[in-house]
Amino acid sequence: MARCTNVTLVAVGDHDSKKTDLLLKYTTDKKLRDEFKPCIFTNNVQNVVVDRALYSVHFVNAESEDVFKSLRLKDYEKADCFLLCYSIKSRASFENVAKWCIEVRRCLRHVPLVLVGTESEGRRNAEDYVSKEEGEDLMYLIDAAGFVECSIKEYLRVDDVFKTAIRSVQKKRFPMFLK
């Protein structure tokens, strides 16, 4: 693990997609209590090991409000992979993934996308939430490199989100070396 590869991951999605919580949980490893509702994520860089390789990962939280569109587009320009996030509990955030996909594709057509469904723990309690099959169908529709459902609250598959994203970047950069 001598060499470190730079990777920029940009999280995109509606305000209620829980993308900020996802980034905070992964990068700070802090317990997010129910009463603590983070609204700000300071973009940061951390070293991450995936498949015995070292990566310097720049985590970017693209602002979802329309008034910040020009800033969001600048974030897109740096992306090596987009994390298109939605909450399983919010059908609106799921349906808006198409809007976000169109926006990022206008900026960077060939950057890998990873579809991320957050709040997977909620599905046990309600039938009207977005199903896993709907997420898989959307993954194929938007031609995403991967799809991961995770529970930020229970820290289930959170690591898988970022491993999938980093692997998709490596596959894009070095397709002949990866299966």
Per-residue pLDDT tens over the stretch 125-163:
677 899 999 999 999 999 999 999 999 999 999 999 999
Q: What burial letters (b/e) apply to 63-85, b meaning 16+ CB within 10 Å? A: bbeeeeeeebeebbeebbbbbbb
Share of the chain above pLDDT 70, in %: 87
| Average pLDDT across the chain, whole number | 88
Position 94 in a domain:
yes
CA distance 85 to 93: 8
Q: Is the pLDDT of residue 13 over 80?
A: yes
Confidence class for position 35, pLDDT limits 50, 70, 90: very low
If we measure between CA atoms, which residue out of 178, 89, 172, 74 comes closest to residue 129?
89
Whether 87 is in a domain gets the answer: yes
Domain range enclosing 90? 5-173
Flag whether 145 is in a domain.
Answer: yes
| 179 is a domain residue | no
User: Is the residue at 66 inside a domain?
Assistant: yes
Report yes or no on 178 lying in a domain: no
Residue 8 has pLDDT above 80, yes or no: yes
**Rounded CA gap, 106 and 74, in Å?**
13
Pairing of strands 113-118, 146-149: parallel
CATH number at residue 80: 3.40.50.300
What is residue 174's predicted lDDT score, i.e. its pLDDT? Answer: 75
Is there a domain that residue 10 lies in? yes
Q: What is the domain count for the chain?
A: 1
Q: Whose CA is closest to 10, among 138, 95, 103, 96? A: 103
Residue 32 has what pLDDT?
A: 57
Asked whether the predicted pLDDT for residue 104 surpasses 60, the reply is: yes
